[in-house]
Structure 1
């Protein structure tokens, strides 16, 4: 038959007083009076039939029996505290680690992330950026935003939105260059993103025309190419969803009404064979909802009331 446990409240008061070597400090930690701590310790001493502290003028000191008891209960209370912290969900946030492209993060995800946080206050999103495929084996990434055709044998891929390309220029550059035909692009710099190095090639091939690209400028990311375009440096080939606000505001103009679907799309991916967490499913549902409510915007340069942009499908 197991020995009955001592009363827990007096035991807790004893553990704190022994750890701090002070009844006064123990009272402060437990948010009670010093008299209450003293009374609880006396209850425990009476229960066990031993003296646990020597009461001295300037404090307390453990007796031999008190020291032996303290060595046991301090570990017990620590284990109880640790176990409670592991089990309890009170005040705890789930953490969802997402890897994304820099431009996708800057131009689409970050401006909308506050909405997701407001709807999921107990879910913390950790966002990292890289052009490299996510290293799921490291355990540091739960899911990733990836561009492609969804043909990854080792990944579960949920399609988010098709990639549509559209050339954009600043209003100032359009006013000075007067771009009306594809060949007029030869008069301005073409701004390229090294992260999406084939976009201009695909768009021009779809039009069946050629453009002299002697003064082009290459940027590490699409976000940098868009920034350069906004200053009037040249014409950038943009993923439409990333420049819609600037098209709506008039900061960017679209010299041509057509957009080009490349056959690629953005996907949310995670390893096959790994069931998605509730947090990941909530993130996916939120992204799909926002994608569906996006309003297309691609007004032709210098024209008001222009019909919605036509969409060309890449033969590739």
Structure 2
């Protein structure tokens, strides 16, 4: 197959379409003399003049008029296919949105496993509060607590959890030598806001009721924080005692950054979910690279071992 060089053809097509060397040069990012030189190379290749140059004006010759429609159509088709390929490549990356409490202890290990099986798939991780407009934000997977804010979406259950009182070893030895939480002052309690839709449940008042004690520590005298990740971090650093989801922060327990001074637990009323715009089954049927990657990410999230 004998083909002419591409750059001279691009210069010729742009010159005709835009009406001159100057405009063509601006589009191609070169100088007008460089465009003129490329056009001359095209003329040399075909052995025919493509333009008549008179008084700073350009007019197509018969050869130029014969060549232009085919060259224009071919370059347009190449540009269209190139855009499609680049778009498909961009879409092969995944946007993962998550609430803060899941970002480190749950998401990080899952992403490490996912990348072993999909090393060429990029992942953009966003940490943001609910609700998230998945379509507008181009989010592929949203990790959240409960799923009532996403009624039209596909919800994949990840796990349920139980909260326990947790604190640091230092706090335990300084304030809880006998393990009796009733001896603590209200200032020692860390209160967690579980998001706008869930207020502060589970609360310390609910935990004490579970033990048969009517005590209700005053949140105004302790620490009140937004999210279990902040509460767990404060507790691990000796800032007080918090109700912490055990499965979610098992790694901090294994590292002895947190200890559990009581065996009484309070289950979270809802589960954690992965929200997607399409069901995993639909994604598999579509069999695109991105759909397979999303399904692989859901598998990695569901198999997280904390």
TM-score (norm. length: structure 2): 0.70
- The number of aligned residues is 266
What is the CA-CA distance between 1:114 and the residue it aligns to? 3.4
Counterpart for residue 46 of structure 2: 44
Pick one of 200, 205, 221 that aligns with 2:209.
Answer: 205
What is the CA-CA distance between 1:165 and the residue it aligns to? 0.7
Q: Distance in 1 between matches of 2:142 and 2:90?
A: 24
Q: Distance in 2 between matches of 1:138 and 1:80?
A: 30
Q: Residues 229, 99 of structure 1: CA spacing in aligned structure 2 closer, same or farther, 3 A cutoff?
A: same
Other structure's SS at 2:115 match: helix
Counterpart for residue 193 of structure 2: 194
Q: Distance in 1 between matches of 2:138 and 2:149?
A: 23
Counterpart for residue 301 of structure 2: 287
What is the CA-CA distance between 1:195 and the residue it aligns to? 2.7
Pick one of 162, 165, 169 that aligns with 1:164.
Answer: 162
Unaligned runs of 5+ in 1: 1-6, 27-36, 55-60, 295-316
Other structure's SS at 2:138 match: coil
Counterpart for residue 10 of structure 1: 4
| Higher share of residues assigned strand | 1
Q: Distance in 2 between matches of 1:174 and 1:146?
A: 32
Counterpart for residue 287 of structure 2: none
Other structure's SS at 2:132 match: coil
What is the CA-CA distance between 1:141 and the residue it aligns to? 2.2
Q: Could you report, residue by residue, the CA deviation over 1:31-65 in whole angstroms, capped at 9, with x for unpaired residues?
A: xxxxxx96x864433xxxx22489xxxxxx98843
Q: Distance in 2 between matches of 1:90 and 1:228?
A: 44
Counterpart for residue 125 of structure 1: 123
What is the CA-CA distance between 1:248 and the residue it aligns to? 1.1
What is the CA-CA distance between 1:137 and the residue it aligns to? 4.6
> RMSD in angstroms over aligned alpha carbons?
3.7
Indicate if the aligned counterparts of 1:183 and 1:210 stay in contact, CA closer than 8 A.
Answer: no
Unaligned runs of 5+ in 2: 15-29, 284-290
What is the CA-CA distance between 1:288 and the residue it aligns to? 1.4
Counterpart for residue 286 of structure 2: none
Counterpart for residue 57 of structure 1: none
Indicate if the aligned counterparts of 1:102 and 1:221 stay in contact, CA closer than 8 A.
Answer: yes
Q: Residues 185, 74 of structure 1: CA spacing in aligned structure 2 closer, same or farther, 3 A cutoff?
A: farther
Pick one of 113, 116, 126 that aligns with 1:115.
Answer: 113
Indicate if the aligned counterparts of 1:186 and 1:212 stay in contact, CA closer than 8 A.
Answer: no
Q: Distance in 1 between matches of 2:133 and 2:93?
A: 17
Q: Distance in 1 between matches of 2:11 and 2:98?
A: 51
Pick one of 252, 256, 275 that aligns with 2:258.
Answer: 252
What is the CA-CA distance between 1:174 and the residue it aligns to? 0.8
Indicate if the aligned counterparts of 2:165 and 2:244 stay in contact, CA closer than 8 A.
Answer: yes
Greater RCO (CA < 8 Å, at least 6 residues apart):
2
Greater Cα shift, 171-180 or 63-72: 63-72
What is the CA-CA distance between 1:265 and the residue it aligns to? 1.1
Q: Residues 149, 185 of structure 1: CA spacing in aligned structure 2 closer, same or farther, 3 A cutoff?
A: farther
Counterpart for residue 183 of structure 2: 184
Indicate if the aligned counterparts of 2:186 and 2:222 stay in contact, CA closer than 8 A.
Answer: no
